[in-house]
A and B are shown apart, each in its own frame.
Chain A
Amino acid sequence: MKRRIVTTLAGGLSAALALSACSGDDGTGGGGEPETGDVTSLSILDYYNNDPDKTLVQEGLDACADELGITLERETVPGADLIQTVLQQASSQTLPDVLMLDNPEVQQIAETGALLPLDEHGVSTEGFAQGIVDASTYDGHLYGLQPVANTIALFYNVEILEEAGVEPPTTWDELREAAAALTEGDQYGMAFNANATYEGSWQFLPPMWTNGGDETDLTSPEVAEALQLWVDLVESGSASESVINWTQGDVKDQFAAGRAAMMVNGPWNIPALNETPEVQWDVVQFPVNEPGQTPVAPLGGEAWTVPVTGDEASQAVAVDFVECLNSPEQQLDWAAARYTVPTRTDLAEEYLAERPEMEAFTEQVANARSRTGQLGPEWPDAATVIYEAIQLALTGQAEPAEAFEQASSR
């Protein structure tokens, strides 16, 4: 009972503050308006802890800090440690003013009540790709916004395909044939990542979604059919059995070393691939099962959020900061520097003029779906079922359809 009173009070208070913040915008000034002028510095937490990303992101952050006339205290941690760091900071009430989250995690963290609803603080999502908005929306409110997105598509080694007289595949049958034709000696036709982590599930989404499969019903024939594609590639020897242990980084290494003619991977590997000029590559969208299907891939990338720190003034500046990071100019700069795709759909043309090699990814992002769009914070459970089923099927312990039933019965 006591708690309810407190929450009601807190709710009323934040509503009042939100109102006063709005009134502050039009210059009239309200009584409870936070004194944003006193805020000189924001703390930031993200997981871009390796170069070149670390430096490139710093440039984008600095540009917005200059615009707002503030300084930044940035902390970067390895990707796998981000959520643990956030949890530690949450329990010691030392969350940063601005927090970067991998987009499928936004709803999980929003569910805990740790994030500020940006829509209530005047942030608009107009012009953004719908999948991007869905990924950061929980319970009808927007909790984060991501300036750029990535996804996965099919890279191929131009030289190897030309020598073998193989065209880049557009359907699964063509993919099977091409992979078989390109497999010889130490070289596999195809590489992908099917390890027992969310990464393995993420790489399975292009075949699953493209074929009409859905995470709300993983036991459907469409999903099983998609898994059959992975099984066929491995059983025929066109892909290494090691795919069940590989990370996307391992897949990229295989491709860069010329041991795989094609791979499923994302544009964040482009800078690394550019360092091995002997491998000439190109990218196409992930093939479809039946002609007429639209390739649907998962949306990747990170959203910037504003944790509820209780410091209204800093929060207000942090909201402005996130808005700045998502401005059209920033999006174009970030996307070009980091081989990602702007999330404002009307920037596509301008962007491709600068980065023509990103065409396949830009198309793929336009139809891409967010992982949490349908299940919200329940997505990790589905992702676990997916990677468990992949493991069962690829190790020959179950047929694809059975594998999903077995994995979802857990």
Chain B
Amino acid sequence: MASRDFSHRLSDVHGSLRRPVSLSRRLHMDIPLLVLLLVLAALGLGVLYSASGGDMNYVRRQSIFMCVAFVGMFIVAQIPLDFYRRWSPWAYLAGCVLLVGVLFFGTKAMGAQRWLEIGGFRFQPSEVMKLGVPMAVAAYLHQRRLPPSLITVIGALAIVAVPAALIVRQPDLGTSILIAASGLFALYLAGLSWKMISVAAMALLVAAYPIWHWGLHDYQRQRILTLLNPDDDRFNTGWNIFNSKAAIGSGGIYGKGYLQGTQSQLDFLPESHTDFIIAVLSEEWGMRGALLLLLLYVLIIARGIYISFMAQYVFGRLLAGSITLTFFVYVFVNIGMVTGLLPVVGVPLPVISYGGTSLITLMAGFGLLMAVGTERRRVHF
């Protein structure tokens, strides 16, 4: 009886001294984020089924991608943050080497050289850098006094510039800008002075003219012009936008019903299962569906910001903040382009668009986010 009492008390003592060790903490999973991602993934499969015209092959393959991506996320989340911080310079360097390799030995497809083929396996090094660059910048800033001095800023900019320049050469302007943005977000969150930000903005404004004339490919210019006047060129560059707007607009508030979207089901919508998938959702589920999806994204972003707020150290903080903001940029650019607000720049809709590579990178990012979120407990435990 006494021993039982003792043990009971002991556990009580334990319980009051230590925080309860839940399964989620042991697994380094952030439950709210995990739930949100699972809901999003389920929604994605549902939309994909419709967007692919009821082709179960797409759904099956995407399900496999999702399983792989979730397992990847789980593994990434298990590794201590300190490990990432220490190894990120090497990972970054390796990424740069691969990017140089792409320029020389890359596989060409659709007019661009973006892939490396190793043993029959094809992968895109720029995909790795989507996480490599913010990690490297965060690790770099982690070691410096913040807010960053001018020297520190120049160093960080160099870290961003090298892969961005290599990716532009492929050419893949969209990815390059997004990768650069993820690095710059880290720099911004680290306290880059507003003075420098305004100077950079001014410089960009001045550079706009030469960039327009010499920095862009014809097709890129055309995409921007199309955006300004989409009806001008309804059957060429404006075709996608014209039809995706018609799909979204004709969905109305309530939508045409699941699998009932005429625009998407009748192939008027190109890329309906990849980049333009939100048009399918908006056509069939209406504005309600679109807002529901936005809400899911907002909740994920809110959770990401919360994790970054709670992070104890600079590296985790900057990394979590950068990943979260970049995630939002993906969402915004994709929806902006499909709804005709932004030029068409092949950015998939996170988790919903069909495709394995981007999904795996994305979930690895969430794995990092979870690693940050559970780091504090790791240190205490």
Whether chain B is bound by chain A comes out as: no
